[in-house]
Amino acid sequence: MKYLIFFLSLIFSFLLSLLSLPLVTSLSTKLKAKQPILKYVEQHKSKAGTPTMGGLAFVVPSCLIAVVFSNNGLSAGRIAAIATISYCLLGFLDDFLKVKRHNNGGLTPMQKIIGQLGIAGALAYYCYKNDISRLVRIPFTNTTVNFGYWIIPFAIFIFLAVTNSVNLTDGLDGLAGNTTFCYLLFFFLILFAMYQKQIIDISLAVFSVSIMGGILAFLIYNSKPAKIFMGDTGSLALGGAVASVAMFSGNSLIIPIIGIMYVVSCISVIIQVIVFKISKKRVFKMAPFHHHLEKCGMSEPRIVAIYTAVTVIFGALGTIAVLISL
């Protein structure tokens, strides 16, 4: 019966998000909060006018459920919810400015990085003060390393890298949602196993299933053709959630395994920028990589299916890497 909390967290998060989505979609439409479409992405011309900031409709309800069903006090799950909401608010501000200006010029790069650094710095300090979060588990081994003070710069790097990588992955209908749902599903299995062995409390596992419930509801509205986009409001928030469950449980080193497609998005952009600056040539037809696949003639549903399948395969590998070390 004690495991009923996971089912209830998933269901209530799903239902509350599902109730919020039509309201947020309708309000975004009335306020003309529409997603500016990049002109050089020809395949997305038909998406012009689609409401954005849909992240509010599932991030807020999911985090609320996570807080309600988590342990009392400032448990890891509740801190993860606070982290997710913080990134959600930063993304909302970015989206709001884009909508107001009717272009993709939201927060300046400097403003965005300052906001991200501020949130990451606070979360890094929490990691330092938390015994579990200071430990970093080495995949496929029984070894854990206590980073001590070094966990602060390490955590800041992880939060910056992951939030921006998830943000880059949010470029097609249902892509970030499906990928992140699978990521959190495998992390739930890891967190549940750690809870069973009394390594961590139940709150991070509750947080994971709560976000999963919200994502499931959002995908009903966001799968192609999308009725609403999550915007940076949702993608930065998901990045915060993705990084939090890994950092707070000491499993940050398996992020590149379970979150392999986030890595692909980030690395493809880095490679494209570096090579173009050096040689004025492009490695990919367009970066991130999912846009390259689009330019090659692949449909959005097929790309989403590939990203989901690869995440499932590497998610299983990453889960095994942790479970054998517990």
What is the per-residue pLDDT for 39?
A: 53
Which residues, at least 6 apart from 31, have a Cβ–Cβ distance to it below 8 Å? none
- Output the CA torsion sign for 33, 63, 119, 133: negative
Stretch 42-71: mean pLDDT: 85
Say if residue 38's pLDDT is above 70. no
Of 191, 194, 168, residue with least CA distance to 180: 168
* Within-domain flag for 41: yes
What is the per-residue pLDDT for 98?
A: 84
What is the per-residue pLDDT for 40?
A: 52
pLDDT tier at 42, thresholds 50, 70, 90? low
pLDDT tier at 86, thresholds 50, 70, 90? very high
Stretch 162-176: mean pLDDT: 95
Stretch 81-100: mean pLDDT: 93
Q: Work out the number of other CB atoms within 10 angstroms of the CB of residue 280.
A: 7
pLDDT, tens digit, 9 for 90 and up, residues 92-123: 999 988 888 776 677 888 999 999 999 999 99
Of 187, 248, 174, 246, residue with least CA distance to 215: 174
3-class DSSP state of 76: helix
Stretch 260-280: mean pLDDT: 95
CA distance 300 to 304: 6
* Within-domain flag for 258: no
Which burial class, exposed, middle or buried, applies to 248 when counting CB atoms under 10 A from its CB (0-12, 13-18, 19+)?
Answer: buried
The string over 53-68, giving b where at least 16 C-beta atoms fall within 10 Å of a residue's C-beta and e elsewhere, is: bbbbbbbbbbbbbbbe
Please, what is the average pLDDT of the chain?
Answer: 92
Cα 120 to chain centroid distance, Å, stands at 14
Stretch 58-72: mean pLDDT: 92
* Within-domain flag for 39: yes
* Within-domain flag for 203: yes
Looking at the 3D structure of the chain, how many domains does it have? 1
> What percentage of the chain has pLDDT greater than the value 70?
93
Lowest mean pLDDT of 72-76, 161-165, 279-283, name the range.
72-76
What is the per-residue pLDDT for 225?
A: 86
Say if residue 164's pLDDT is above 70. yes
Of 248, 259, 163, residue with least CA distance to 199: 248
C-beta separation of 159 from 123 below 8 A? yes
C-beta separation of 76 from 191 below 8 A? no
* Within-domain flag for 311: no
Say if residue 46's pLDDT is above 90. no
Range of the domain at 89: 4-253
Q: What token pair was written down for 279? A: 């040689």
Q: What is the gyration radius of the CA atoms in the chain, in angstroms?
A: 19
* Within-domain flag for 235: yes
* Within-domain flag for 103: yes
* Within-domain flag for 85: yes
pLDDT tier at 41, thresholds 50, 70, 90? low
Lowest mean pLDDT of 131-135, 241-245, 263-267, name the range.
131-135
C-beta separation of 81 from 66 below 8 A? yes
